[in-house]
Amino acid sequence: MTGASMSERETQSYITTAIFDFDGTIIDSSSAVLEVMKKLSVRYRLPVLSAEDLAEIRTRPLSERLAILGIPKWKVPFIARTALRHFSSLMDSFPLYEGMEELLDELSRNGVTLYILSSNNQKNIRRCLKRHGISSFSAIRTASGLFSKARHLRRMMKRFDIDTQNAVYIGDELRDITAAHDAGLPAIAVSWGYDTRELLEQGKPECIVDSVAELKTVIRRGLKA
């Protein structure tokens, strides 16, 4: 089963498959955001952001962020590729969120199948996971483009025959929630990543968690209607 209506998703009671976003969900790359934005502002003549500006932009949906920065949609892929190169050079300095390694290991040992779907590239992700000694994921896929996650989620579900009634997508951005719902999946939003809790609430995820321990509890008990 590779698609599900909202009514079908509401019958879900337990989770056997968890698809994770990466940056802002598993790994904390927040320390590099301001530095990367400064480099992008020089190359693409974007507004120079202060820490306060960045905090305010985090409260806005992606479309509004692009408008504030004066970035037309056609330019997004070019800027995203440049940003990814900068982040790649800093990957070895990014820590896992506290408790994440233990959570992934426990889920895997308890029979939950784990995947990653991220805008980051597979080489970066695999390098980071290897550095932290994590081998729990059955597959890692890249969603090229900021607006294509739903399409890639559907492909992943078809490729791996994922039953959407017992699967969930876990991410830190409003666009993660939207992509999950567009693909017929429930979404768990984590509040420790890039988007603010208030922004995540706009996407109406099935659940918002504020700690890795709380995420563990939700996955253990499952999502209820």
pLDDT, tens digit (0-9, with 9 covering 90-100), for 105-130: 999 999 999 999 998 989 999 999 99
Which pLDDT value is given to residue 223?
A: 75
Which ranges of 45-191 does DSSP label H, i.e. alpha helix?
A: 51-57, 62-69, 76-90, 100-109, 122-131, 149-159, 174-182
In one-letter notation, the amino acid at residue 30 is S
Q: Does residue 202 contact residue 183 with C-beta atoms inside 8 Å?
A: no
Three-state DSSP class for residue 94: coil
Going across the sheet that includes 207-209, the strands are: 137-142, 113-118, 17-20, 167-171, 187-190, 207-209
> How sure is the predictor about 4, in pLDDT bands with cuts at 50, 70 and 90?
very low
Q: How large is the average pLDDT for residues 132-138?
A: 95
State pTM to two decimals.
0.88
Q: How large is the average pLDDT for residues 90-104?
A: 93
Residue ranges covered by each domain of the chain: 6-28+96-221, 30-93
Q: How large is the average pLDDT for residues 81-103?
A: 91
Least confident of 2-11, 87-96, 170-179, 207-216: 2-11
Which pLDDT value is given to residue 103?
A: 97
- Our measurement of the distance from residue 209's CA atom to the centroid of its chain's CA atoms, rounded to an integer in Å, reads 14
User: Which residue has tokens 């992509």?
Assistant: 179
More confident residue, 50 or 179: 179
Kindly provide the residue ranges of all beta strands, DSSP E only, lying in 13-86, ordered along the sequence: 17-20
Q: Does residue 40 contact residue 66 with C-beta atoms inside 8 Å?
A: no
Helix (H) or strand (E) holding 171: strand 167-171
Task: Give the DSSP letter of residue 45.
Answer: T
CATH homologous superfamily, domain 6-28+96-221: HAD superfamily/HAD-like (3.40.50.1000)
pLDDT, tens digit (0-9, with 9 covering 90-100), for 13-68: 589 999 999 999 999 998 888 888 899 999 999 998 888 988 898 889 888 989 99
Structure tokens at 26: 């598993």
User: Which residue has tokens 């320390």?
Assistant: 31
pLDDT exceeds cutoff 50 at 2: no
